[in-house]
Structure 1
Amino acid sequence: MIMRSKLLLPLIAIAIILVAAAAAGCTSMNGGTGLSSGDRPSSYGESWNGPQVAPQYPGAYDSKSSGTAGVAPVPTASGEAYSDIGNRKVIMTASIQIETTKFNESVDKVRFLATSTGGYVQSSSMNMYDQNRRSSTITIKVPQSAYEQTLSEIRKLGTVKSDSSTGSDVTLQYVDVESRLKNLRAEEARLIDIMDQAKNVTEILAVERELSRVQGEIESYQARLNVLNSQIDFSTITVYVTEPEPVVSYDWGIGDAVTEAVHAFVGMIGGLIVLTGYLIPLVLYLALGLAALYLLIRGALWLYKRSQNRKTEAAEEKKERPEEKK
């Protein structure tokens, strides 16, 4: 038992050295664009933003080596190369605004185009704006093979007010994730072989810890690869459907004049009714206020006259008293 442990310890050390060398080889193969251990997600479920913009690689346009100006092959995890544009990984997105009088029909048509091509409606909304005009925003996902045909059908729905289409090349990012995933799976297989040969509990636990880390990274990179595949396989199209402004006619006839006059008269009567409704409470309050003010003034005048009368009577009494004494 002791001899087996002594033999397995060097074997584990050699395996760990081989794993480290394989990881270093993976990093150098990808041109230094790989992630450090601090940049990688530690477990499945954590988001990996990764390099959003694929770095440029030498030889992208090398007319001397190939004789023509073209795209240089990108090596894959299996050693093959994406030697033409058709093999590149491109995420397609488009935005198009359509103005149409057939609003409901156009919205239904966009939904139908998504489902009939094997895609789906990602989101949809509708609102009202200037002069009760309707507007709808629909985001659909369609297979990349049906991308151009779907755009062509959408353009037929009405007047195209704006139209844009972009493609994001994620070939290098895709190959990088794919390559790392392959190396991690190879590392996982080697660790499983080592675990099968381990007889000591300490050795088994050490290999299990390393195997758990590797399997966590495999799940994270596989999730990232699944997201890329979904974005590549299904293109995104955002459609804005709007109604045109109502057409104002300036042709005026007797019938139109009479109609306008009736509408104006009805509007005036309605305005007067509304104004009367507002004025009635105001008039009542004003009348009550004036009545109260009138009563106050009358009362003040009455008191003033009364006081004056008393003064006059008092003066007359004073005059009469001296005459009586004589």
Structure 2
Amino acid sequence: MKLGVFTVLFSQMPLEEMLDYVKAAGLDAVEIGTGNYPGNAHCNPDELLEDESKLRAFKKAISDRGLIISGLSCHGNPLTPEKTFAQQSHDTFVKTVLLAEKLEVPVVNCFSGTPGAYEGAKMPSWPVAPWPNEYREILEWQWKEKLIPYWREWGKFAEEHNVKIALELHGGFLVHTPATLLKLREAVGEVIGANLDPSHLWWQGIDPVAAVKILGKAGAIHHFHAKDTYIDPDNVNMYGLTDMQSYANMQERAWIFRTVGYGHDLKTWADILSALRMVGYDYVVSIEHEDALLSVEEGFQKAVENLKQVLPKEQLTDMWWV
């Protein structure tokens, strides 16, 4: 496996300074934002698609440092009823796929999206209960009329450009569990897979090792994010796991994001990484930092230190003892 980082946390650094910093930390890969929620501080698709010399210089800056791009990330919501952001999300996704093809990057990371509750709605709606029955009816309409048609069309587009789509299983979006990922994959095809992030599984009550086994058996893990979650049992009893308080309200929240090793111990992370290798995922483990209790630099360095202790790096050899 290779160790990488989602470089949005270094958005204040120019591209080459960021790459030098990542290389000095001993990493192998970068995951780069191309717009929408992650921003495009290090990679403007319009510029790189329009100017071949800038594209070559971009590729060279990365390859000269012995790094690879694990994925291009454009998390947005192409299904939202808010038309301006929906169009921006879609356009950025299309450009990101075209750029990934040119850069020979195999994966584009994004969200599935969430539409409104009905045609003409003003805001997205995320149903999370099967009763009263109208919630289930809304969900069925969203999948049938919005989610599946969109990804059937644009999944085929990605496939034609030799790019896989890795959907992050993130609450607030229709694809947020192994079951919803596999349901969409069945309707669309193998181009759809997961950008598996344990932090979003833990707060939903899903065991990441079990999720790896479920999705790995289907060959449905396209990318992996390394981020942790701390769950506060007392606050869960007060607010539940669907706590809607601001992430800034750390003392009261039921759960908060942490850097690797600060929500769950390294044995747990070793089990996750071992499960990934067991199901045949030997690609990049990409650090994502959203830990409000540690600075960007310290959170990143702690994640690197902790993951290096448990990340399998070498190629597997024959079992000499068998």
TM, length-normalised to structure 2: 0.18
Q: Which has the higher contact order (CA 8 A, sep 6+)?
A: 1
- Which structure shows the higher helix fraction? 1
